[in-house]
């Protein structure tokens, strides 16, 4: 099954906890602290894989969590960093966070970190100083990042085959390649794009058979948005027109209608080079359509995809045109803009004082409150950066609740 959209919920690994340990050896009563640091948590990385063609597996399995780093140990042993969690996606996948494009995966093994693992907590050996030679302080590991990632696949093909339903697009693809799309004599036989590899002289081209477009496709009618998206990356368009039209439209009217939908969807799409082929010329009275196009001054190639008539001429024209097309530029990636954020902010609601700020939230998460010395260090840092003073200015009283991240404290003078 061809799936071209997926939403993932990812969480990077937490860093390993630092170790609180002291050297204990015979004849060395004051061996000192030897607790090692924890290992780094695993990142969540999205990687391009040329062997994948769909996002089906990612739609079925949408939650991903990287492993945590190992805890530090005594004797100054550092914990092992966790392996990164790799999520493979097809080439042509656009990666979005918060609606903004952060990467356009167009190459094999191209990668991007979508959630960074937390750093390992420090063991008590890292806190040793001339003032505190035997610290009973260790840090918990930093929590890993978590976020929602949107994936959108746009097929990477050289030639996009478009046209109304039942115009003969799949038949044409089957004739020029080893692709075996479903072919039948009713509309909407093709429900998802089919790819075929075609060898033309010194070039190997990928053709994409796009399911039939109808009026209103640019507005999403008939899954129009889902199909039109896949034409955006193609270098050239092969527009196959049924010589007998579609519904109450004649051949030329269907040609105009499709181009109107392309323009509605994207001006860039409407400007792509097109090769127009009129199909089903093996059926009597099909010449009327050819005359109509020539009367309008349009260059067309009469073909019968079923009988392989004229297919070679169309292929040669595509070969000539595609040599003049410049390489596609990857989707625009918005640069990261770092705006200044205060170190902390305090929001009062009744007798609850909520402190926000990335640094403070990480400090709370990494403080080991089971150790009195670690708790005191936490209080000293709050005083040093001015939080204690700001709380007093906001009117905090003994017994009020101070909330930081997922932790709540009772304030005391």
Domains in the chain with CATH codes:
5-153 (2.70.210.12), 159-322 (3.40.50.300), 345-410 (3.30.300.350)
Contact 43/12 with Cβ under 8 angstroms? yes
Between 180 and 274, name the one with better pLDDT: 274
Residue 362: count other Cβ atoms within 10 Å of its Cβ.
16
Q: Is the dihedral of CA 315, 208, 108, 332 positive or negative?
A: positive
Q: What confidence tier does 184 reach under pLDDT thresholds 50, 70, 90?
A: very low
Between CA 185 and CA 191, with CA 189 as vertex, the angle to 5 degrees is 170
- pLDDT (0 to 100) of residue 221: 44
List, in sequence order, every residue forming a beta bridge with 64; answer none if it has no partner. Answer: 10
Mean pLDDT in residue range 136-164: 91
> pLDDT band at 211, cuts 50/70/90?
confident
Query: Checking DSSP bridges between strand 44-49 and strand 111-115, what pairing results, if any?
Result: antiparallel
Q: pTM of the prediction?
A: 0.75
Q: Position of tokens 């966070």?
A: 97
pLDDT at 146 over 50: yes
* pLDDT (tens digit per residue) in 372-411: 999 999 989 989 999 989 999 999 999 999 999 888 999 8
Q: With 80 as the cut, is the pLDDT of residue 223 above it? A: no
Q: What is the pLDDT of residue 186?
A: 37
Nearest-angstrom CA–CA distance, 97 and 112? 12
303 to each of 167, 200, 298, 369, how far by Cα in Å? 11, 18, 15, 78
What does the pLDDT read at residue 189?
Answer: 43
With contact defined as beta carbons under 8 Å apart, do 180 and 209 qualify?
Answer: no
- At 344-368, the pLDDT tens digits run 899 999 889 999 988 899 999 999 9
């Amino acid at each position: 099954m061809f799936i071209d959209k997926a939403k993932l919920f990812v969480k990077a690994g937490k860093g390993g906890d630092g170790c609180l340990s002291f050297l204990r050896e015979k004849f060395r009563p004051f061996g000192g602290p030897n607790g090692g640091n924890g290992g780094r948590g695993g990142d969540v990385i999205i990687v391009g894989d040329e062997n994948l063609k769909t996002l089906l597996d990612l739609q079925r399995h949408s939650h991903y969590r990287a492993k945590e780093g190992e805890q530090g140990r005594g004797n100054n042993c550092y914990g092992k960093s966790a392996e990164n969690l790799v999520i493979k996606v097809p080439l042509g996948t656009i990666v979005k966070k918060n609606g903004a494009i952060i990467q356009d995966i167009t190459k094999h093994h191209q990668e991007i970190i979508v959630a960074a693992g937390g750093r390992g907590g420090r063991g008590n050996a890292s806190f040793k100083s001339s003032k505190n030679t035997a610290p009973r302080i260790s840090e918990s590991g930093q929590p890993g990042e978590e976020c929602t990632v949107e994936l959108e696949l746009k097929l990477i093909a050289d030639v996009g085959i478009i046209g109304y339903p039942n115009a003969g697009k799949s038949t044409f693809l089957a004739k020029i390649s080893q692709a075996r799309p479903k072919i039948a004599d009713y509309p909407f036989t093709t429900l998802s794009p089919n790819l075929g590899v075609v060898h033309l002289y010194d070039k190997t081209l990928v053709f994409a058979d796009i399911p039939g477009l109808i009026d209103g496709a640019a507005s999403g009618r008939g899954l129009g948005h889902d199909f039109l998206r896949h034409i955006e990356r193609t270098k050239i368009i092969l527009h196959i027109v049924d010589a007998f039209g579609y519904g109450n439209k004649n051949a030329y009217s269907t040609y105009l209608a499709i181009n109107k939908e392309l323009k509605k969807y994207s001006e860039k799409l409407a400007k792509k080079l097109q090769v127009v082929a009129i199909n089903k010329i093996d059926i009597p009275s099909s010449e009327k359509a050819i005359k109509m196009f020539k009367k309008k001054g349009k260059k067309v190639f009469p073909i019968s995809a079923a009988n392989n008539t004229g297919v070679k001429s169309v292929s040669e024209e595509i070969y000539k045109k595609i040599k003049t097309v410049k390489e596609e530029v990857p989707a625009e990636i918005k640069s990261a803009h770092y705006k200044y954020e205060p170190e902390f902010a305090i929001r009062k609601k009744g007798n609850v004082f909520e402190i926000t700020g990335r640094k403070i939230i990480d400090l709370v998460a990494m403080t080991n409150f089971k150790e009195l010395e670690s708790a005191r260090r936490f209080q000293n840092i709050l005083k040093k950066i001015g939080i204690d003073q700001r709380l007093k200015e906001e009117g905090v009283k003994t017994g009020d609740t101070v909330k930081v991240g997922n932790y709540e404290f009772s304030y005391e003078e």
